[in-house]
């Protein structure tokens, strides 16, 4: 039995360290707008659950986004009565705005949020954040559409939810199952790099965050949840659906044009530069081959349509040359973007010029095939011409892929190793004297950049450099904090 580590082993992921017992590991944000009735029962129930079941220090942050009722007073009272509760007030509406503001300023290594109605069973909270604490995943979402989920809601909301997720899968190629479940978590080090790329400030915020994270290669963990619909929900379905569709269009257009700086993100476990040192492993060959086949199939259909159209007013050689030229330009552009992942305009002219050389080779094969057919038969049928062209194009396709991969779009990752920006090195506590404090992205909606501690006011309180303990050992394990160890109701 092998006992020595294989040289092909992936790098180990680090368990999140924790500071002293006063530093929260988890910060659960509850965004609210005019929730004076439901806020207190929600916070009390969530606090009781966390104190009883969560083995680490935690914080509950109420993010009031411009409520006009007595919600701010209820939040202030809860903050005064419960040590683990913080309240924050924003003067502008938007769930996304509230989450980005609080998450950007929080010092907890794991950030989560849930809806105030607590439609999701809280027993899913620990499974939600556990993969983030262990370092296994970067984001985590609750899913109402998983097979093992138990969901109680009306047919109308069920139809809307499933339709929306089908739209995401069809338009943005999303692979996660439930975008809008109000039960999500993210690691703080990932959020610091991901949140500045998210533009939406409303209900589409978490969908956009998930799409960008998935496209950047971050690992998203899904947890089946038990969910009971809130019949008194204040969400405006029509307006929310309209805004979501606008967001899908905006994000889809940005992804298609390559305008999003997704190279700023990387999932070290699956895209670590050390992974590429493993010998004998093809670098993306299977994925490139599938993409090339799909583009090639569509290009062949496009070519045959063009040929049939040009053949109506020109000879076979001219129609073949024109159809092949137009389809070759489209084929090179599609393979550049979709198969080999080259984005932006840099080198596009050079790639098209090289593609025309490949086109010339294909033209020689297909034209030679037509010449041979005409030499063998004086007046070949149109169907015979098409059959010969298909066979010639298949041969040209194999050669085109080899030339594209080895010459036009060669893999140059070994020449210029990519830089991993969002790594899973343990996050250090943030303070005025910390280097992270000076470089961490600040939310445009936060009036003060300082993080808040568990015993201070949420935002804007001055901290001493000694307020936080520095984590020097990257392998330090989380120390359990059980607030109710002496509670007679606790069976532990």
| Average pLDDT of the residues in 286-298 | 80
| Average pLDDT of the residues in 192-221 | 90
Specify the 3-state DSSP secondary structure of 65: strand
pLDDT at position 369 over 90 = no
pLDDT digits (tens, 9 = 90+) for 199-211: 998 888 989 999 9
Which carries the bigger pLDDT value, residue 103 or residue 427?
103
Percent of the chain with pLDDT over 70: 73
CA distances from 180 to 77, 162, 168, 407, 439 (A): 30, 10, 11, 44, 31
Query: How many Cα neighbours within 13 Å face the side chain of 246?
Result: 12
Distance of CA 288 to the CA centre of its chain: 21
Please say whether the beta carbons of 164 and 180 come within 8 A: yes
| Average pLDDT of the residues in 308-319 | 86
The closest of 218, 206, 222, 230 to 147, measured between CA atoms, is 222
CA distances from 176 to 167, 237, 255 (A): 12, 22, 17
Please say whether the beta carbons of 219 and 136 come within 8 A: yes
Quickly count helices (H) and strands (E) in the chain. 13, 9
Residue 304's CB is within 10 A of a number of other CB atoms, namely 16
pLDDT band with cut points at 50, 70 and 90 for residue 22: low
- Sign of the alpha-carbon dihedral angle for 183, 188, 194, 199: positive
Please say whether the beta carbons of 224 and 210 come within 8 A: no
pLDDT at position 452 over 90 = no
| Average pLDDT of the residues in 37-48 | 94
Question: Across the chain, what does the average pLDDT equal?
Answer: 75
For residue 232, the model assigns a pLDDT of 62
| Average pLDDT of the residues in 111-139 | 92
Can you tell me the distance from the alpha carbon of 180 to that of 164, in angstroms, rounded to the nearest whole number?
Answer: 9
Q: How would you class 158 by CB atoms within 10 Å of its CB: exposed for 0-12, middle for 13-18, buried for 19 or more?
A: middle
Can you tell me the distance from the alpha carbon of 29 to that of 458, in angstroms, rounded to the nearest whole number?
Answer: 12
Calculate the dihedral angle through the C-alpha atoms of 137, 141, 145, 148, rounding to the nearest 10 degrees.
Answer: 60
């Amino acid at each position: 039995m092998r006992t020595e580590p294989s040289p092909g082993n992936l790098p180990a992921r680090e368990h999140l360290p924790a500071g002293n017992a006063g530093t929260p590991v988890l910060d659960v944000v509850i965004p609210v707008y005019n929730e004076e009735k439901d806020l207190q029962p929600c916070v009390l129930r969530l606090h009781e659950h966390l104190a009883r079941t969560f083995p680490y220090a935690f914080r509950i942050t109420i993010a009031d986004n411009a409520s006009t009722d007595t919600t701010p007073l209820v939040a202030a009272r809860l903050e005064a009565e419960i040590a683990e509760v913080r309240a924050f007030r924003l003067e502008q509406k938007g769930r996304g705005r509230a989450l980005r503001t609080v998450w950007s300023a929080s010092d907890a290594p794991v950030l989560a949020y849930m809806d105030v109605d607590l439609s999701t069973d809280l027993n899913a909270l620990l499974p939600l954040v556990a993969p983030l604490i262990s370092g296994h995943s970067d984001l985590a979402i609750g899913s109402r559409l998983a097979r093992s989920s138990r969901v109680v809601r009306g047919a109308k909301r069920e139809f809307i939810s499933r339709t929306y997720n089908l739209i995401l899968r069809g338009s943005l190629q999303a692979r996660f199952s439930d975008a809008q479940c109000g039960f999500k978590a993210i690691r703080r080090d990932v959020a610091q790099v991901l949140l500045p790329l998210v533009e939406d400030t409303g209900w589409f915020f978490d969908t956009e965050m998930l799409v960008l994270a998935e496209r950047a290669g971050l690992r998203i963990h899904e947890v089946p949840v038990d969910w009971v619909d809130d019949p008194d929900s204040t969400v405006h379905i029509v307006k929310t659906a309209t805004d979501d569709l606008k967001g899908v269009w905006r994000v889809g257009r940005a992804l298609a044009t390559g305008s999003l700086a997704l190279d700023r993100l990387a999932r070290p476990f699956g895209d670590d530069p050390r992974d590429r040192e493993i010998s004998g492993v093809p670098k993306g060959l299977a994925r490139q081959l599938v993409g090339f086949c799909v583009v090639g199939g569509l290009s062949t259909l496009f070519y045959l349509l063009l040929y049939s159209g040009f053949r109506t007013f020109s000879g076979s050689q001219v129609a073949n040359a024109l159809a092949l030229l137009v389809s070759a330009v489209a084929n090179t552009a599609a393979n550049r973007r979709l198969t080999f992942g080259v984005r932006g305009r840099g080198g596009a002219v050079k790639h098209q010029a090289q593609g025309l050389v490949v086109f010339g080779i294909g033209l020689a094969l297909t034209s030679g095939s037509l010449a041979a057919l005409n030499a063998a038969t004086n007046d070949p049928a149109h169907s015979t011409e098409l059959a010969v062209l298909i066979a010639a194009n298949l041969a040209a396709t194999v050669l085109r892929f080899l030339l594209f991969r080895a010459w036009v779009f060669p893999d140059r990752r070994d020449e210029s190793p990519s830089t991993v920006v969002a790594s899973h090195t343990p996050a250090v506590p943030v303070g005025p004297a910390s280097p992270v404090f000076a470089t961490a992205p600040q939310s445009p909606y936060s009036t003060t950049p300082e993080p808040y501690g568990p015993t201070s006011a949420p935002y804007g309180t001055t901290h001493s450099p000694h307020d936080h303990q520095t984590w020097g050992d990257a392998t330090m394990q989380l120390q359990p904090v059980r607030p109710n160890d002496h509670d007679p109701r606790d069976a532990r």
